[in-house]
Amino acid sequence: MAATGDAPGIDDAVRELGAAGRATFEAGRDAGKAFRILLAADVSLARSAFGRTLALTAVAIAFGASAWLLLMAALIVGLSRGLGMPWALALLLTAVLSIAATVAAAWLATRYFEHTRLKATRRQLARLGIGELADFMPDPADGASASEAAATAPVGDDGAPVKKGLGIDVTPP
């Protein structure tokens, strides 16, 4: 007959298993709590940084605009006094320079704004059958290019541009 005191009993194993489970749960809870605190602090920091960024951007715009105005005034004075140009011509030249800078900035802004349309994502969603362009995209198993299919404006049976539910043209990505 074997002695029962030599080997640990099932009660001890269950107690150890329960203690390990509680320790695992507490460690997970502590990790979750630490992550929640970190996330709250990070969001708070981001919110504060966003407000300060907006304020400092406004200050930068104000000082940049005043510096541009002072630079244009100095250029006008230099053209009129240094080169003997009439005031009207000096003002016209600086106005043309300002308009050229404005047009260049507006053109660049519209080029960069095109990146906000998420073209590649919209094409892939359309290939998966999601979105307004889903009917006009090739099937995912097809080897056809989604960007080529999206480049052609979708037209209806009558040859008119396809409209969304509110009567707005479907815009290709």
Q: What is the pLDDT of residues 119-128, one digit of tens each?
A: 777 777 777 7
Q: How many CB atoms lie within 10 A of CB 98?
A: 13
Give dist(CA 114, CA 122) in Å, integer.
Answer: 13
- Compute the half-sphere exposure of residue 14: CA atoms within 13 Å on the CB side of its CA: 3
Give the mean pLDDT of the chain.
Answer: 83
pLDDT reported for residue 167: 59
Range in 29-33, 96-100, 126-130 with the lowest mean pLDDT: 126-130
Q: Where are the domains of the chain?
A: 10-86
pLDDT mean over 2-20: 78
95-103 long-range contacts (CB < 8 A, ≥24 apart) are 97/72, 98/68, 98/72
pLDDT reported for residue 169: 61
109: left (phi over 0), alpha (psi -120 to 50) or beta: alpha
For residue 148, the surrounding DSSP H or E stretch is helix 146-151
Match 């996330």 to its residue by tokens.
39
The pLDDT of residue 74 is above 70: yes
Task: Report the candidate in 54, 34, 31, 53 with the shortest Cα–Cα distance to residue 42.
Answer: 34
Close Cβ partners of 114 (under 8 Å, ≥ 6 residues apart): none
Residues in the chain: 173
Assign 1 a pLDDT band (cuts: 50, 70, 90). Answer: very low
What share of the chain in percent tops pLDDT 90? 42
Please say whether the beta carbons of 52 and 44 come within 8 A: no
